[in-house]
Every structure is written in C-alpha cells, then in structure tokens.
Amino acid sequence: MSSRVLQAKVDAREAFRDLVENTHSRVYRVALALLQSPHEAEEVVQETFVRAWEAFHELRDPSATTSWLLKIAGNLARDKRRLWRRRSNEPFDEATIEPLRSLLSPEGTIESPDEAVLRKQRADSLRRAVEGLKESHRVVIVLREIEEMTYEEIASALSIPVGTVESRLHRAREKLAKKLRRLVEREKTP
C-alpha cells in the first residue's frame, strides 16, 4: 500500500472522528425527539455513525455533513418506530430540555430560593407542555427550538416538504402557547 493511500485513510479516520465528536450530541437529541427513549435513541446514533462511516467516502459536500447525518438518523428512527410502537414515560432528559429552560429566566441573574423554585416549576410546566404535544408537533418544536435546525434541515431529517415543516411548526407553537397559558392560569389560581 502506498504511503499516499495510507495517509488518505488516516486522514479520513481523523476527519470522521472529528465529525462524530462534533455531531454526536445533536444526532442523539434528534433521535431522542423522534423516539422518546434514551436507549433506543443511542442505538440509532450508533447505527447512524456506522452507516455514515460506510458511506463517508461518497460525501461530496462537506458543508452538508450535519444534514446528511440527521437525515440518516431520522430515517433510522422512523424505521425503528415502525417496528417499535411502545412509548416511554420519559421522552426528555434534563440535557434535552435545558435549552427550553433558558427561555424562562434571563441569563446572568441571581435568583432567590423562591425564584429558583418558581423557575423549576415553570421549566417542569414547559416540559410537560412539550411532552403533551402530539408527536409530529413535538418533533418539529424540538428540532427547531432546541436544535435550532433550519426548516430545510428539518425537512431533510424528517423526509417531509419544507411547507409541511412550516405548517406543523406553526400549529405546534399555537398548541404549545395554549397549553402554557392554561398552566400559567392554574398557577395563579390559589
């Protein structure tokens, strides 16, 4: 084997290792949003990277790598969902819900114990509201608001048209706002 071929293989392995390190958590959160099971999501992540490694040499546009991985993960998760129909009671772990929590209290503020309790209650309310959305709405909310994916990336990951992403996201935001208003009203009621 020539030294150039050997060096190309070493470079490819290093590039792939960097890719895994930089995208693992995002691929996991997308799989978790689709499957609602940490164990199943981790299996999808592993299979995503196995398939990505097998096809890594075919990747033509390095700027589309993350979208490519998310599409693989989305397809694998949908396949797994078709075969696996039971639901987990814990669709979101603390790391997944954290970006939504930041919407509830401004950064850099010092909070009193009462404020901390109120913030935790609101975060729990937000988590319950997101979990209460139907799957197609919950997934687009998580991918857009937590993962900050573009509409095009979401469409690619879910294999749906961009217009469908837009309409689902619009409906999901409306339903989430309605649920949150009800939860806030319940908090105000003594």
Q: Are residues 101 and 161 in the same domain?
A: yes
Q: Are residues 129 and 169 in the same domain?
A: yes
Q: Does 111 or 142 have the greater pLDDT score? A: 142
Q: For residues 5 and 20, give the distance between their C-alpha atoms in angstroms, rounded to a whole number.
A: 23
Q: Which residue has the tokens 């470079």?
A: 11
Return phi, psi of residue 123, to 5°.
Answer: -65, -40
Q: Which residue has the tokens 């998760």?
A: 77
Q: Does 16 or 91 have the greater pLDDT score? A: 16
Residue ranges in 84-161 assigned as alpha helix (H): 94-101, 113-131, 135-141, 151-158
7: in domain = yes
Residue 145 per-residue DSSP state: I
73-108 pLDDT, tens digit per residue, is 888 888 887 775 444 444 555 555 555 554 454 555
Sign of dihedral through CA atoms 72, 22, 170, 102? positive
Q: Which residue has the tokens 């772990």?
A: 93
29-66 pLDDT, tens digit per residue, is 888 888 878 888 999 999 999 998 888 777 777 777 88
User: What percent helix, strand, coil does the chain show, rounded to 5?
Assistant: 80, 0, 20
User: What range defines the domain where residue 52 resides?
Assistant: 3-83
**C-alpha 83 chain-centroid distance:** 21
Q: For residues 116 and 78, give the distance between their C-alpha atoms in angstroms, rounded to a whole number.
A: 38
Rounded to a whole number of angstroms, the distance between the first and last alpha carbons of the chain is 77
Which of 83, 106, 127 finishes a domain?
83
CATH number of the domain enclosing 167: 1.10.10.10
128: in domain = yes
Which of 83, 106, 123 finishes a domain?
83
123: in domain = yes
| Residue type (1 letter), 171 | R
180: in domain = yes
Contact partners, residue 84, CB within 8 Å, separation at least 6: 35, 40
